[in-house]
Structure formats: structure tokens, C-alpha cells
Amino acid sequence: MMNADQRAVLEDWKDDCRLLMRVHLDKAAQCERRTLYIGLPAVVLSAIVGTTVFASLGKVPQNWATVLVGSVSLLVSVLAGLQAYLKFP
């Protein structure tokens, strides 16, 4: 049998575990949102760059267009690298 002090300790532990579980779940939800903040722009920008490259195959693009597509491509690389470094799924 357990005495009152032991029961009180177990109740405290149970309350702490519930609190930590809630904090863990909140943090997991926050990480899922971060995945969208980094991953979604990377996918959209990558699609735009790919489409632009295919659309300009038969044409000579202007300098500003080349710089813009190159910059967006670099941004996509940085976002994908961040996503991998931060270990987002």
C-alpha cells in the first residue's frame, strides 16, 4: 500500500508528465508549420524556375530575366538546404 506522501508524489509526477506532453505536442505542431513556411516556398519557386527555363529554351532571355531566374534558383537552394539542416520532413 501507498501512504499519502507517496500518492502526492505520484500525482505531482502525473501532472508534470501531462504538462510536458502538452508542451511537446505544441512544439511538434510548431515544427509542422515551419515545414510549410520553408518547404512550400521552395517547391513553388522551384516550379517557377523550371517553367521559366523551359519557356525560354528557344529564346535569348534579357539580362534582368537571367539574373532574376538565377537569384530565385539560388533562393530555392538555400531554402532546401535550410529544410535539410533543420531536419524538417
> How many whole angstroms separate alpha carbon 51 and alpha carbon 89?
25
55-87 pLDDT, tens digit per residue, is: 777 777 788 878 888 888 888 888 888 877 777
In Å, how far are 21, 35, 45, 47 from 31, measured between CA atoms?
A: 15, 6, 21, 24
CA torsion 41→46→52→54, rounded to 10°?
-160
Question: In total, how many domains does the chain have?
Answer: 1
Using CA atoms, how far apart are residues 80 and 39, in angstroms rounded to an integer?
Answer: 7
Q: What is the pLDDT of residues 3-24, one digit of tens each?
A: 999 999 999 999 999 999 999 9
Whole-prediction pTM:
0.54
Residue 43's domain comprises: 4-85
